[in-house]
A and B are shown apart, each in its own frame.
Chain A
Amino acid sequence: MIDGLMIRALYGILYREFLRFFQQRARFLSALVRPLIWLLVFSAGWRQTQGLAPYAPYETYIPYEVYMIPGLCAMIQLFNGMQSSLSMIYDREMGSMRVLLTTPLPRWFILVSRLFAGVAVSLLQVYAFLAIAFFFTYFEFLELDIAAIGYITVLPALILCGFMLGALGMALSATVKQLENFAGVMNFVIFPMFFISSALFPLWRIKDLSYTFYQFCTYNPFTYAVELIRFALHGQFYAEGALVVAVTSAIALGLAIYAYDPSRGLKAKGKRG
């Protein structure tokens, strides 16, 4: 049951996450610059060759940048989820995690709160990115064609996807013993997740090119996150995507809670004396 202590603690965890985020200006800038480079350079270069025929949720031909936007939103959340898990490993190595784990809060609540704080930061990044993209549309550098309501209907999808990507990162962080090992893990997670998905190309086009690659994309939960955001940005609900993302979130969170249990995850990291 959620009590007053939990509400204050959640506020405390959010407070620290935002303080750290705003102090790490490079993190904020890179979170924005990375998708903007993709949007401006990649999509501008390909828009002449990659115009896409109508398919759900689009009702007409769309320029390539319209197609890319949901994938880039999900990319921001993917990087943020991994950044949060990196921060968990850093906290574990620096001892800050011990401070959290020795409070009278249930361990599941601590992990869910950390996750929630990570999602909140990712929302800030995504909306900052969308605002800049809107600015480019306004001055006719891009044609984004997102209705005003889309910025609201996308919020629940972003929350759900943020939870999934954060929970995956958290489960991953429990298995990584040292900070130095995490860069390698990120390369094996972030890039395959992003590229073997519908973030850059629609599934029907991938299917035309390679059925095997298409199958890999359909096994990737990130594909469902991208599609969930895509439909939500256009005011539609993608039930299959929501289900896959919710189930993946629950499994990843369950694994993280299991791994951070005092009798399991942290046992190996204890100092003997």
Chain B
Amino acid sequence: MTDTLSNQDTHPETAQTAAISIEGVSYNYGKRLALDEVSFQVLPGQFTALLGANGAGKSTLLSLITRLFDTPNGTISIDGKSFASHGSKALAPLGVVFQQTTLDLDLSVRQNLRYFARLRGLPSSFANLRIEETLSALEMYERVDERIRDLNGGHRRRVEIARSMLHQPKLLLLDEPTVGLDIQTRRVIVNHIHNLAKNDNVAVLWTTHLMDEIWDEDHLIVLDKGKIIEDGTVKEILTKNGASSVSDVFESIIIQEEERLK
């Protein structure tokens, strides 16, 4: 069956299929509206930061994108394939790093990655190659036979990033991946993911509330109370708001939005 949304998911300027396309997505928890008509796209090779305060709707949006929640209103398509028409198969080009550690603590790094590689259908020889490649890129291959329990938080996070890249995803989703890490580790991870987007053409959707993780050339989406209130490159948003930094923009937008709602 042809996906009727695939044409809509093509970015008009570049004729690229969006790695992820979200169209008019709303979500309620009972009577509370958590997401209100959210629409945006992330293109291949684009690093998109999703910025929002606690309770803005970031985690709800990620749960919808990862299909942990059903999407009652609107459409989500990954690489041109919507959940509505392709079901769980639409998740194939997606790599995810959750905020909470999701590794099996009693298994080794290699055993964790092998398990995931099998879940993604990778043949053994290719899986072993990718395990070596992805861990080496994060300077973790020498610890491949150590148990996760014996690794510190930063190293566990690197293993999770390596795991998310094993199947060469087109879209990488990271939910506040640097929470609780020291500055040095944060810098390594932020640089690594930016390089993945730039060099490997991976689309990245990175949720955060840490402004220093966002670079000037990044695509920025600001979410507040379930609505997108800014969507553009960091430079465009800074110029539009006459601000010098993302944190100034974020604060002024939130204040303006709160005053508007009074």
Contacts and interface: CB of A to CB of B under 8 A. Distances in A.
Does B associate with A? yes
Interface of A: 4-5, 8-9, 11-13, 15-16, 19-20, 23-24, 94-96, 98-107, 261-263, 266-267, 270-273
B104 A20 contact: yes
A9 B88 CA distance: 14
B111 interface: yes
Contact of A8 (B69, B106, B121): B121
Interface of B: 29, 34, 54-60, 63, 66-70, 72, 87-92, 94, 96, 98, 100-107, 111, 114-123
**Closest 5 A/B residue pairs (Cβ):** A12-B118, A273-B59, A263-B70, A5-B121, A95-B102
Contacts of B120: 5, 9, 103-104
Contacts of A19: 107, 111
Nearest to A100: B119
Contacts of A94: 100-102, 105
Main DSSP-derived SS at the A contact region: helix
A4 B72 CA distance: 31
B88 A11 contact: no
A104 B118 contact: no
Contacts of B106: 20, 23-24
A262 B91 CA distance: 14
A24 B106 CA distance: 9
B102 A12 contact: no
Nearest to B67: A262
20 contacts: A9-B119, A12-B118, A13-B119, A94-B100, A95-B98, A96-B102, A99-B116, A100-B119, A102-B94, A104-B89, A106-B88, A107-B88, A263-B72, A267-B69, A271-B59, A273-B54, A273-B55, A273-B56, A273-B58, A273-B59
A95 B101 contact: yes
Given A270-B60, A272-B34, A98 B66 contact: yes
A92 to B, nearest CB: 11
B69 to A, nearest CB: 6
Contacts of A95: 98, 100-102
A99 B66 contact: no
Contacts of A11: 118
Given A96-B104, A273-B56, A105 B88 contact: yes
A23 B104 CA distance: 12
Nearest to A102: B66
